[in-house]
A and B are shown apart, each in its own frame.
Chain A
Amino acid sequence: MELTRENFKQEVATFKAGFKEDAFSIAEKSLTLEKKGNIGVISFDQYQEKANKLSTPNMLRLFELCLQIEQDKSIEAVVVISRKPTIFIAGADISEIQRLARGEATTESLMKLQAVFTFLESLSIPVIAAIHGACMGGGTELALACDYRMASDGPETKIALPEVLLGVLPGWGGTQRMPRLVGLEKSLDLILTGKSLDGKRAKKIGLVDKVVPVEFLEEKALAWAQDLARTKKKRSYETPLKDRLLESVPGGKWVIFDQAKKQVMKQTKGNYPAPLRIIETLRKTYGGDLEKGLKVEAKAFTDLVVTPESQCLIGIFYLQEKVKKDKGVEGKIAGKDIKRAGVVGAGVMGGGIAQLFAAKGTRVRMKDIQWDAVAKGYKAAHKIFQKLVDKKRMKPNELANAMERIEGSVDYSGFSHLDLVVEAVVESLEIKKKIFQELGEKVSSETILATNTSSLSISEIAKATKDPKRVVGMHFFNPVDKMPLVEVIRGRETSDEAVATVFQYAKKVGKTPIVVKDAPGFVVNRILGPYLNEAVYLLLEGVSPTRMDSVMEKFGMPMGPITLLDEVGLDVASKVSHVLHQAFGERMKPPSVIDLVAKEGRLGKKSGKGIYLHSNGKREEDSDILNKMGVKAVKEISDDEIIKRLTYVMVNEAARIVDEGLVRDVSDIDIGMIFGTGFAPFRGGLLRYADKVGPEVIVSELDILNKTLGERFQPCQYLQQLSIDGKKFYQEAKAT
């Protein structure tokens, strides 16, 4: 049954049952209609909250306002505007989507909410969406249901349909009205990537009609409404000429869909149902009847929202939200503001860190021993900025501003007034200790001293200074500008202030931090250790690198383990694996062949030769590699076994990390693995995946591997206990 003018009151009563008592009175306060002469202004100002969200009560309230507008003949045009400073509408209420995911969603109930926008669209007077700030998902769909759209020129204005990132699709007409407005190709791009457009870019593709200064948004919208009221001009959809031409070519549409699908398959290996369903939905409905299209869309949404992939992606969304609110420490300690930073070591990591800091407005003094090294750091930073300029993501003067934020030096001059110093030299405890001792003498008593070590003990490094409280780990991943994770390492003596400062600053420069206690390899490298070792063992048993990589890519890793080894560098991997072996004993013992390869100068991608052969950015399998590594017999190993061996050793190690209390929450491991290694997001992270498989299954598999292949598979105590108790890593899943 549809939502109609007639049954509205009754429907509200039905809906009410599912919501808090005051939900509807709050909606009345949040969405209001005000008359400015002959113009009706719908103001959205979510009561006592920062963000405007299209919850069900708000949607019904909007319907009610449309009813009022329809009845009030003195209203000749409508403007929809937000009263929040940086948000138009942040989208639907994701907690409601989660409820839908529990099977409460039906195509019918969704269509009732679709009807709200259909009603808005069908009003006989012109309606303008005046957009400033984040306009996400449902917000964009609301704007699409208006006749006209006006956007502010502020950088806060971001218009997107990001539903795909949560494993679903726009369910309130987005898949229908977007293509009608901007054509098929651009719609697919927007809906499949979830990317956001600022006002200028939105106007360029025809998504908005006008871009105006934010300060005059309301005035301009009212004036425009006045004009439209006079002419009584409703919008008629007109697909842009270029798109009409392209689509009118016989098979043209088919080619577009086909291309889109190929692209999706290449990027997702078919692991994500949402993008495929989006393509299918558009293919079925494009150019057809709106009402029918909406129904197909609603069905697709309700199917997708219950998929485990969507639930995992929504779970990750919540993890990110949690990080946003997190301060890295308990209690009220606030991190200090970082205006000036130092970086010691201008290598790949140091240069990358300097670039990142400079890009975010921090001044950086970059020190190395030799000017040649400093020059390389500059060059690396410049290359990244230049790329942004080439892509028109940065203006040339901004590049000059950013580059001038980086200062080069071969001594510690200028280090006495820095807020933060990040050391990023070679992984040698001796050298790092020397540097921290020097730094300790040089910097002010306020400076936070961070190390980017990937494997050494923070507490040990801190001993070299007089004030170990200010020493903390700040572990970035390579390449720094792209990898979102930062492990913030708390040494034995590290102060809350140091942790909070680095945690907060990592967020400020756009990274996702997790706090880890000081232990070898921290989270990501420690979990990757046995994974990469196992990959080499599999090689030695005759599994070809290409096959192993493709199996793991299909599993959902962004790159397979052998490619990862070559990217990281076999020398680096070998060094880390020895540190881990030393720390954790036999189970982490690296296969000796890895040293051999590194010693032969097969260092990985950087030397042109690793396990693969690399040239001109392409990799090729060395047909003789297995031979060279001394593989004698080739064993039959199934894809499934490859996955099990590679992933269960990771789960086992992660369980130890949880058991040792190194992370504050099990979810930190998932954040670490997803943002540090790209571990299959649609699986929700390593431990979500483990929970889905079931600890008891993993333990029994590990037991078998333990007996057949060696003790490195011995399931740890914690994992065994979970199995015995029938528990999962995420306990709260049981409680609710």
Chain B
Amino acid sequence: MKAWIGKTQKTRVAVVSGVRTPFAKAGAKLKNCSAVHLGVSAVRETMARAEWDYNKVDEVVMGNAGTPADAANISRVISLRSGFSESVPAYTVHRNCASAMEAIAQGCLKIGAGLAETMVVGGTESMSNMPLIFGDEMKELFATLNFSKSNVEKLEKITQFRPQWLKPIVSIMEGLTDPISGLNMGQTAEILARDFHITRTEQDAFAVRSHQRTVEAQHAGRFKDEVAPMVVEPDYSEILETDVGPREGQSMESLAKLKPFFDRENGTVTPGNACPITDGAVALLLMSEEKAKAEGKEILGTISGFTFSGCEPKRMGMGPIYSSAALLDELGMDFSEVELVELNEAFAAQVLANQKAWGSDKYAQEKLGRKKALGELKDEILNVNGGAIALGHPVGATGARLVVTLLNEMKRRKVHKGLATLCIGGGQGAAFLLERN
């Protein structure tokens, strides 16, 4: 699979605006907001802050992983509820954790090819509202009741009913399990911890740092540019202005108390050093660079290239290095040129594993088919405002958050090249290289 390279396109693709809702742990403050409402909130504020005319958007593409039963093509619902005209088409994309990055990719493909000038892209996820699913026995019962012709037949089936049939399958747990390897995402992180010999303490230390950096960014108001406060439905009594998740006083001691979740005996991955399931949405306004310039819009950054790569499903956490290496190669770039990196923190173990692999010639030779390592991935440029361990990971939305957070920090630091990359459940990686002049 070849990478998409910005400079070979008909036009360069610019990010004009990117706004997200506050991220809130699932079951907390946004639990009553649907994924649609979250998406609408992000899209409308993106449009408002860009001062962009709703009549000048060609298409809306949103990523979403846990499709709500009442909004199968959630993008279309978000588009209409946000106020786009009925004539603006919309579709939803699903690439698991990279769904929102896939949405951005769709924007790049269409704008780059000249099919569209302006697109709204992003992602939304309400993990609080992931459906509960009935088991096979219950499905069978419903089918019999629907199709059986005689009441006797129906009655017969009903008498077989057992209350335990009502025990739902939590779709979120199913969704976070890879059917190929049969492993839950956390278990794949445990494999990486073993592969790279990453201790529980190292992981906890990383988690503490994530919280510290996130909290510091909050205090410094660094998320103000990207987070739009919400008046929370359906009571409208509460106003959510910041993310719910980062902990001010997160410490090694308190993390040490947590039990490993995926391997009770010998495991190292705990809820404290993994990202929490979370609700939130992000939207970006993309347009061709010419259009943005002609309309006098400030450009947050342009997209130099992106690619998606496959890797072992049971080591899905290594996705970032595969995709990043591939992208840099195709761009003809050395990693040392990259000044800032956002690498999604699905698990502390998984980020640390990537960091180690990044500097390892051996890993490069064995896995990436390169002679030399990509180069050291320094703490000073990695997730400088914290990440998903503190902020959470609303699956379908995170990819877009990485891009927005990265661009805003690049602007603050006045740096030119940044990399946003993440691992994808099922064994893939995504990487986007962004540029600011």
Q: Which residues of A contact B (CB under 8 A)?
A: 340, 363, 365, 371-372, 374-376, 378-379, 382, 400-401, 403-405, 407-410, 413-414, 416-417
Is B237 engaged at the interface, CB distance under 8 Å to the other chain? yes
Q: Mark B59-87, 1 if CB is under 8 A from A, else 0.
A: 00000000000000000000001110000
Nearest CB on B from A340, distance (A): 8
Q: Using Cβ atoms and an 8 Å threshold, which residues of chain A touch B48? A: 365, 407, 409, 413-414
Check if A379 sits within 8 Å of B237, measured CB to CB.
Answer: yes
Closest to A374 in B: B231
Question: Can you report 17 A-B residue pairs in the complex whose CB atoms are below 8 A from each other?
Answer: A371-B241, A372-B239, A374-B231, A378-B236, A379-B235, A379-B236, A400-B37, A400-B81, A404-B37, A404-B81, A407-B45, A410-B229, A413-B49, A413-B51, A414-B45, A414-B49, A417-B53
Is B44 engaged at the interface, CB distance under 8 Å to the other chain? yes
**8 Å CB contacts to A: which residues of B28-61?**
36-37, 40, 44-45, 47-49, 51-54
Known contacts A400-B81, A401-B81: A416-B51 contact under CB 8 Å: yes
Check if A378 sits within 8 Å of B231, measured CB to CB.
Answer: yes
Closest to A386 in B: B234
**8 Å CB contacts to A: which residues of B214-247?**
229, 231, 233-239, 241
Closest to A366 in B: B231
Q: Using Cβ atoms and an 8 Å threshold, which residues of chain B touch A408? A: 231
Complex Cα spacing A499 to B172, Å: 56
Check if A375 sits within 8 Å of B231, measured CB to CB.
Answer: yes
Q: Using Cβ atoms and an 8 Å threshold, which residues of chain A touch B47? A: 414
Give me 12 other A-B pairs in contact (C-beta within 8 A), A371-B231, A375-B239, A400-B81 excluded: A363-B83, A371-B241, A372-B239, A375-B236, A376-B236, A378-B236, A379-B237, A382-B234, A400-B36, A413-B45, A414-B51, A416-B51
Q: Which residues of B contact A (CB under 8 A)?
A: 36-37, 40, 44-45, 47-49, 51-54, 81-83, 229, 231, 233-239, 241
Closest to B239 in A: A371
Complex Cα spacing A404 to B44, Å: 10
Check if A405 sits within 8 Å of B83, measured CB to CB.
Answer: yes
Check if A417 sits within 8 Å of B236, measured CB to CB.
Answer: no
Complex Cα spacing A486 to B3, Å: 60
Closest to B37 in A: A404
Complex Cα spacing A413 to B17, Å: 13
Q: Using Cβ atoms and an 8 Å threshold, which residues of chain A touch B233? A: 403
Nearest CB on A from B8, distance (A): 34
Check if B40 sits within 8 Å of A404, measured CB to CB.
Answer: yes
Complex Cα spacing A410 to B49, Å: 12
Q: Using Cβ atoms and an 8 Å threshold, which residues of chain B touch A378? A: 231, 236
Nearest CB on B from A383, distance (A): 9
Q: Using Cβ atoms and an 8 Å threshold, which residues of chain A touch B53? A: 417
Q: Using Cβ atoms and an 8 Å threshold, which residues of chain B touch A404? A: 37, 40, 81-82
Q: Using Cβ atoms and an 8 Å threshold, which residues of chain B touch A413? A: 45, 48-49, 51
3 pairs of A and B residues whose beta carbons are closest in the complex: A414-B48, A378-B236, A379-B236
Complex Cα spacing A382 to B44, Å: 19
Nearest CB on B from A377, distance (A): 9
Q: Using Cβ atoms and an 8 Å threshold, which residues of chain B touch A401? A: 81
Closest to A381 in B: B236
Complex Cα spacing A408 to B51, Å: 15
Closest to B229 in A: A371
Q: Using Cβ atoms and an 8 Å threshold, which residues of chain B touch A416? A: 51
Complex Cα spacing A405 to B54, Å: 13
Nearest CB on B from A351, distance (A): 10
Q: Using Cβ atoms and an 8 Å threshold, which residues of chain A touch B82? A: 404
Q: Using Cβ atoms and an 8 Å threshold, which residues of chain A touch B234? A: 382
Complex Cα spacing A407 to B45, Å: 9
Closest to B47 in A: A414
Q: Using Cβ atoms and an 8 Å threshold, which residues of chain A touch B51? A: 413-414, 416-417
Complex Cα spacing A313 to B424, Å: 71
Most buried by B among A374, A375, A379: A375
Q: Using Cβ atoms and an 8 Å threshold, which residues of chain B touch A407? A: 44-45, 48
Closest to A413 in B: B48
Q: Using Cβ atoms and an 8 Å threshold, which residues of chain B touch A340? A: 54, 83
Closest to A378 in B: B236
Most buried by A among B36, B45, B241: B45
Closest to B241 in A: A371
Closest to A363 in B: B83
Complex Cα spacing A376 to B233, Å: 12
Q: Using Cβ atoms and an 8 Å threshold, which residues of chain A touch B44? A: 407, 414
Nearest CB on A from B297, distance (A): 12
Q: Using Cβ atoms and an 8 Å threshold, which residues of chain B touch A417? A: 51-54
Check if A382 sits within 8 Å of B83, measured CB to CB.
Answer: no
Complex Cα spacing A375 to B235, Å: 9
Closest to A442 in B: B51
Complex Cα spacing A410 to B239, Å: 12
Complex Cα spacing A414 to B44, Å: 9
Check if A375 sits within 8 Å of B241, measured CB to CB.
Answer: no
Nearest CB on B from A405, distance (A): 7
Complex Cα spacing A363 to B55, Å: 14
Closest to A346 in B: B231
Complex Cα spacing A413 to B83, Å: 16
Q: Using Cβ atoms and an 8 Å threshold, which residues of chain A touch B49? A: 413-414
Closest to B82 in A: A404
Q: Using Cβ atoms and an 8 Å threshold, which residues of chain A touch B237? A: 375, 379
Closest to B235 in A: A379
Complex Cα spacing A20 to B67, Å: 68
Complex Cα spacing A403 to B220, Å: 33
Complex Cα spacing A371 to B239, Å: 7
Nearest CB on B from A372, distance (A): 7
Nearest CB on B from A407, distance (A): 5
Nearest CB on B from A549, distance (A): 35
Nearest CB on B from A252, distance (A): 42
Complex Cα spacing A374 to B231, Å: 8
Complex Cα spacing A401 to B34, Å: 13
Most buried by A among B40, B48, B83: B48
Most buried by B among A404, A405, A416: A404
Closest to A372 in B: B239
Complex Cα spacing A549 to B37, Å: 47
Complex Cα spacing A382 to B235, Å: 9
Complex Cα spacing A414 to B51, Å: 5
Complex Cα spacing A413 to B48, Å: 5
Nearest CB on B from A240, distance (A): 33
Closest to B44 in A: A407
Closest to A365 in B: B48
Check if B40 sits within 8 Å of A382, measured CB to CB.
Answer: no
Question: Which of B37, B54, B229, B236 has a CB less than 8 Å from the CB of A382?
Answer: B236
Nearest CB on A from B44, distance (A): 5
Complex Cα spacing A549 to B25, Å: 56
Q: Using Cβ atoms and an 8 Å threshold, which residues of chain B touch A414? A: 44-45, 47-49, 51
Closest to A407 in B: B44
Closest to B240 in A: A371
Q: Using Cβ atoms and an 8 Å threshold, which residues of chain B touch A400? A: 36-37, 81
Closest to B233 in A: A403
Q: Using Cβ atoms and an 8 Å threshold, which residues of chain A touch B54? A: 340, 417
Complex Cα spacing A372 to B231, Å: 9
Q: Using Cβ atoms and an 8 Å threshold, which residues of chain B touch A410? A: 229
Nearest CB on A from B30, distance (A): 15
Closest to B230 in A: A408
Complex Cα spacing A378 to B41, Å: 14
Q: Using Cβ atoms and an 8 Å threshold, which residues of chain A touch B83? A: 340, 363, 405
Closest to B81 in A: A404
Complex Cα spacing A379 to B110, Å: 40
Nearest CB on B from A162, distance (A): 35
Complex Cα spacing A149 to B238, Å: 52
Complex Cα spacing A363 to B82, Å: 9
Complex Cα spacing A371 to B240, Å: 9
Nearest CB on A from B313, distance (A): 38
Nearest CB on A from B175, distance (A): 25
Q: Using Cβ atoms and an 8 Å threshold, which residues of chain B touch A409? A: 48
Complex Cα spacing A405 to B37, Å: 11
Nearest CB on B from A382, distance (A): 6
